[in-house]
Structure 1
Amino acid sequence: MSLRFLRSGAVVLTAAAALVVTGCSSSDSGSDGGSEASSSAAVESTPAPPGLGLAQKLACNPPKATPGPASTAALKIGTLLPATGSLAFLGPPMEAGVNLAVKDINAAGGVLDQPVELVTGDSGDTTTDTANATVDRELSSGTQVIIGAASSSVSLKVIDKVANAGAVMFSPANTSDEFTCYQDKGQYFRTAPADVLQAQALSQTMAEDGVQRVSILALNDPYGTGLADNTVRDLEAAGVPADQIQKIIYDPNAQSFNAEIDQVKNFDPDGIAIIGFEESAKIITRMHEVGIGPSDGKLVYGVDGNMGNALGEAVGPGLLAGMKGTTPLTQTSGEFQAALKELDGDLIDFNYSGESYDAAVLSALAATAAKSTDGRTIAANIIGVTNGDENCDSYQACLELLNGGKTIAYVGKTGNLAFNAAGEPSVGSYGILEFDDSNALLTPTRKYVSVAAQ
Structure 2
Amino acid sequence: MLISRASRAATLAACATFLLATSACGTDKPEEGSTTTQVRLYGTDGNMLNSYPAELKERAGLVDGMKGTTPLTPLPEDFKRRLLAVNSGLTDFLYSAEAYDAVLISALAAQLAGSTDPAAIAKQIVGVTNDGQRCETAATCLDLARKGRDIEYRSVSLTRAGFTDAGEPSTASYATLHFDGQQINDGKTEFVGAGIESAASTKAPPRPKKQGTGAADRNDGSPLVLGGLLPKTGDLAIAHPPLSAGAALAIKEINAAGGVLGDPVTWIDGDDGTNPAVAKATVASHVEAGVHVIIGAGGSGISREVLPDVVKAGLVLFSPSNTDASLTDLDDKGLYFRTAPPDSLQGRALADVIMRDGSQKIAIVARKDSYGEGLQNIVRAELEKAGIGADRLKLLTYEPPEDAKAKPVDFTSGAQEIKSFGADAVLIIGFGESAAVIRALADAGVQLRR
TM-score using structure 1 length: 0.52
Which residue number in structure 1 is paired with residue 439 of structure 2? Answer: 285
Range with greater deviation from structure 2 (205-214 or 99-108): 205-214
The separation in 2 between residues aligned to 1:135 and 1:143, in whole angstroms, is 9
Which residue number in structure 2 is paired with residue 238 of structure 1? Answer: 386
Are positions 1:276 and 2:430 aligned together?
A: yes
**Percent same amino acid at aligned positions?**
39
User: What is the letter of the counterpart of residue 270 of structure 2?
Assistant: G
Which residue number in structure 2 is paired with residue 93 of structure 1? Answer: 242
Task: Give the counterpart of 2:296 among 132, 145, 148.
Answer: 148
Could you list the per-position Cα deviations for residues 188-246 of structure 1 after superposition, in whole angstroms to 9, with x for gaps in the alignment?
11111111111111111111211121111111110111101000011011111221111
4+ long deviations beyond 3 Å? 23-27, 63-67
Residue pairs, 1:288-367, within 5 angstroms: 288-292=442-446, 294=448, 297=449, 322=450
Which residue number in structure 2 is paired with residue 11 of structure 1? Answer: 3
Check whether the contact 2:412–2:444 (CA below 8 A) recurs between aligned residues.
no
The separation in 1 between residues aligned to 2:299 and 2:238, in whole angstroms, is 12
Aligned residues: 259
How far did 1:139 drift?
1.5
How far did 1:66 drift?
9.9
User: What is the letter of the counterpart of residue 228 of structure 2?
Assistant: T
User: What is the letter of the counterpart of residue 4 of structure 2?
Assistant: V
Could you list the per-position Cα deviations for residues 258-290 of structure 1 after superposition, in whole angstroms to 9, with x for gaps in the alignment?
111101000111211111222221111111122
Which residue number in structure 1 is paired with residue 417 of structure 2? Answer: 263
The separation in 2 between residues aligned to 1:241 and 1:66, in whole angstroms, is 50
Tell me the SS of whatever aligns to 1:185. Answer: coil
The separation in 2 between residues aligned to 1:108 and 1:12, in whole angstroms, is 37
Check whether the contact 2:223–2:260 (CA below 8 A) recurs between aligned residues.
yes
Which residue number in structure 1 is paired with residue 143 of structure 2? Answer: none
Check whether the contact 1:169–1:188 (CA below 8 A) recurs between aligned residues.
yes
Which residue number in structure 2 is paired with residue 172 of structure 1? Answer: 320
Residue pairs, 1:101-140, within 5 angstroms: 101-126=250-275, 129-140=277-288
How far did 1:10 drift?
2.2
Q: Note the residue ranges of structure 1 that are not aligned, 5 or more in a row.
A: 1-8, 33-53, 298-321, 323-454
How far did 1:14 drift?
5.9
Tell me the SS of whatever aligns to 1:178. Answer: helix
Residue pairs, 1:246-261, within 5 angstroms: 246-253=394-401, 255-261=409-415
Could you list the per-position Cα deviations for residues 156-197 of structure 1 after superposition, in whole angstroms to 9, with x for gaps in the alignment?
111111122221111111111121110101111111111111
Tell me the SS of whatever aligns to 2:423. Answer: coil
How far did 1:83 drift?
1.0
Check whether the contact 1:65–1:186 (CA below 8 A) recurs between aligned residues.
no
RMSD: 3.3
Range with greater deviation from structure 2 (70-79 or 90-99): 70-79
Tell me the SS of whatever aligns to 1:89. Answer: helix
The separation in 1 between residues aligned to 2:301 and 2:436, in whole angstroms, is 21
Quick one: structure 1 residues 266 and 65, their matched pair in 2 at CA, closer, same or farther if it must change by over 3 Å? farther
How far did 1:87 drift?
0.7
Check whether the contact 2:399–2:409 (CA below 8 A) recurs between aligned residues.
no
Quick one: structure 1 residues 255 and 225, their matched pair in 2 at CA, closer, same or farther if it must change by over 3 Å? closer
The separation in 1 between residues aligned to 2:447 and 2:432, in whole angstroms, is 16
Check whether the contact 1:199–1:234 (CA below 8 A) recurs between aligned residues.
yes
Check whether the contact 2:220–2:261 (CA below 8 A) recurs between aligned residues.
no
User: What is the letter of the counterpart of residue 85 of structure 1?
Assistant: G
Quick one: structure 1 residues 286 and 135, their matched pair in 2 at CA, closer, same or farther if it must change by over 3 Å? same
Could you list the per-position Cα deviations for residues 33-87 of structure 1 after superposition, in whole angstroms to 9, with x for gaps in the alignment?
xxxxxxxxxxxxxxxxxxxxx99xxx9x9x99999x9734211111000111111
Residue pairs, 1:49-64, within 5 angstroms: none
Quick one: structure 1 residues 271 and 192, their matched pair in 2 at CA, closer, same or farther if it must change by over 3 Å? same
Larger radius of gyration: 2
Check whether the contact 1:78–1:119 (CA below 8 A) recurs between aligned residues.
yes
Tell me the SS of whatever aligns to 2:363. Answer: strand
User: What is the letter of the counterpart of residue 231 of structure 1?
Assistant: V
Quick one: structure 1 residues 137 and 106, their matched pair in 2 at CA, closer, same or farther if it must change by over 3 Å? same
Tell me the SS of whatever aligns to 1:135. Answer: helix
The separation in 2 between residues aligned to 1:153 and 1:178, in whole angstroms, is 10
Quick one: structure 1 residues 218 and 133, their matched pair in 2 at CA, closer, same or farther if it must change by over 3 Å? same
Are positions 1:210 and 2:364 aligned together?
A: no
Q: Note the residue ranges of structure 2 that are not aligned, 5 or more in a row.
A: 28-44, 47-169, 171-194, 210-218, 402-407
Check whether the contact 1:257–1:286 (CA below 8 A) recurs between aligned residues.
yes
User: What is the letter of the counterpart of residue 223 of structure 1?
Assistant: Y
How far did 1:24 drift?
7.0
Check whether the contact 1:214–1:244 (CA below 8 A) recurs between aligned residues.
yes
Check whether the contact 1:24–1:207 (CA below 8 A) recurs between aligned residues.
no
Which residue number in structure 1 is paired with residue 371 of structure 2? Answer: 223
Quick one: structure 1 residues 24 and 223, their matched pair in 2 at CA, closer, same or farther if it must change by over 3 Å? farther
Check whether the contact 1:284–1:293 (CA below 8 A) recurs between aligned residues.
no
The separation in 2 between residues aligned to 1:110 and 1:66, in whole angstroms, is 22
The separation in 2 between residues aligned to 1:248 and 1:96, in whole angstroms, is 34
TM-score using structure 2 length: 0.53
How far did 1:17 drift?
1.9
Check whether the contact 1:217–1:249 (CA below 8 A) recurs between aligned residues.
yes
User: What is the letter of the counterpart of residue 266 of structure 1?
Assistant: S
Quick one: structure 1 residues 239 and 83, their matched pair in 2 at CA, closer, same or farther if it must change by over 3 Å? same
Tell me the SS of whatever aligns to 1:212. Answer: coil
Tell me the SS of whatever aligns to 2:260. Answer: coil
Quick one: structure 1 residues 251 and 112, their matched pair in 2 at CA, closer, same or farther if it must change by over 3 Å? same
How far did 1:250 drift?
2.1
The separation in 2 between residues aligned to 1:158 and 1:65, in whole angstroms, is 27
Which residue number in structure 1 is paired with residue 340 of structure 2? Answer: 192
